[in-house]
Amino acid sequence: MNISPSIFSFFSGAGFLDLGFETSGFNIAYVNEIFPPFIAAYRHAREVLKLPLPEYGYHHGEASDVTKLIAGSPAQRLNELVKDCRKSHHIIGFIGGPPCPDFSIGGKNRGHLGDNGKLSASYIELICRHQPDFFLFENVKGLWRTTKHRLFFESLKIQLQQAGYILTERLINAIEYGVPQDRDRIILIGFRENFLKDMGINHEVAFPWKNHILYPKEKVFAYPWRECEPFQENSLIPCPDNIPQELTVEYWFGKNNVLNHPNAKHYFQPRAGMIKFAAVDEGDDSKKSFKRLHRWRYSPTACYGNNEVHLHPYKMRRISVAEALAIQSLPANFILPENITLTNMFKTIGNGVPYLAAKALAQTILDFLDLRN
């Protein structure tokens, strides 16, 4: 069946999740993001990639605002856009990953009562109100694994089931899809039961979560990865034969030609502490901050805020924006604009869903709906 489902994107950031869906055959119809620098990054990247404008444009505002149905409000406007989209598109999906520090084990841990935690409830309310044919919800594993947060997560699922959704969930790791990064995330996907009936899909058929997994977790973490060795600036170390080279940061640095990337010079210059930089072994990511990557290993979770510093494997500096984009498996021609701050560049990169993981999830949804061309 040749159908291009339309996507309404929330908490869009710089658009990594959206790009994965778009390059898999989905149409990005609507983009919602509250933080102006992230919207600026999203717009810039799309222009460089020569992608068309979202059908209904960019919407700057809090996603929770669109749950308040008042004449002339963002919610009323969204309601009209969803209705309009239904006239010309057979399938509508909502995708989004509400900000997650309140559920992160290393974050604020305020749960559903925190400002960010409340946004998860708002997103679910948004889905229940507008009834897209399917949705994707992404968050940190703390929401799924931590006992007190799990109760909140289960309450969200009950709300969705009562609204007529069939649900499926999985704790994924980005490395399974070829991303050079150890990054766990809970993914919840739902399909409107009546939509599945209309499509002739038996909702009891298992969702094909494993269709696009390239490196099963139990295998990938069993390889004899290089651990630590003394840091030596500009040293040369050959890649070992017994590991998958394509999951290493050095492979991706070469693949994306990071030294000649437009964001190659975008990295924090330390005012002091160079001696401290040199004292961290290559591959020592055991500390909360000042983690040095190993060139022939995958990266720890791309998280560049809250004083977490990731150091280049064999250079006396932090990693660059170009290198961070490579670690998130973005295409080499994905570029962030120079007119946003370094802090915001790294923040939007760390918040994003790794591109190859996003693409695999999108393709898995297409497989389930039998929408492959």
- Per-residue pLDDT tens for 315-346? 999 999 999 999 999 999 999 999 999 999 99
- Which tokens go with 156? 């969200």
> At 1, is the pLDDT very low, low, confident or very high (cuts 50, 70, 90)?
very low
Residue environment code for 69-89, b if the CB has 16+ CB neighbours within 10 A, otherwise e: eeeeebbeebeebbeebeeeb
Helix (H) or strand (E) holding 184: strand 184-192
CB atoms within 10 A of CB 186: 22
> Tokens 């717009």 sit at which residue?
43
Domains of the chain, residue spans: 6-216+354-369, 245-351
pLDDT at 173 over 90: yes
> Tokens 């289960």 sit at which residue?
154
CB atoms within 10 A of CB 127: 24
Please answer whether residues 189 and 135 qualify as being in contact, where contact means their C-beta atoms are separated by less than 8 angstroms: yes
Please answer whether residues 102 and 117 qualify as being in contact, where contact means their C-beta atoms are separated by less than 8 angstroms: yes
CATH top class, domain 245-351: alpha beta
- Per-residue pLDDT tens for 19-39? 999 999 999 999 999 999 999
> Residue 133 and residue 218: Cα distance in Å, rounded?
33
Closest to 310 (Cα-Cα) out of 289, 327, 336: 289
DSSP single-letter state for residue 112: G
Say which residues have a Cβ less than 8 Å from residue 139's Cβ, sequence separation at least 6.
Answer: 97, 98, 100, 103, 120, 185, 186, 188
CATH number for the domain formed by residue range(s) 6-216+354-369: 3.40.50.150
Task: Find the mean pLDDT for residues 280-285.
Answer: 97
> Please, what is the average pLDDT of the chain?
91
pLDDT of residue 70: 55
∠ at Cα 358 (124, 122), nearest 5°? 15
pLDDT at 110 over 80: no
328 to each of 89, 244, 266, 338, how far by Cα in Å?
31, 17, 16, 19
- Alpha-carbon dihedral angle through residues 217, 223, 224, 228, given to the nearest 10 degrees: -40
Please answer whether residues 285 and 311 qualify as being in contact, where contact means their C-beta atoms are separated by less than 8 angstroms: no
> Residue 345 and residue 302: Cα distance in Å, rounded?
12
Catalytic positions, please? 100
How much of the chain exceeds pLDDT 90, in percent? 76
| pTM score, whole prediction | 0.94
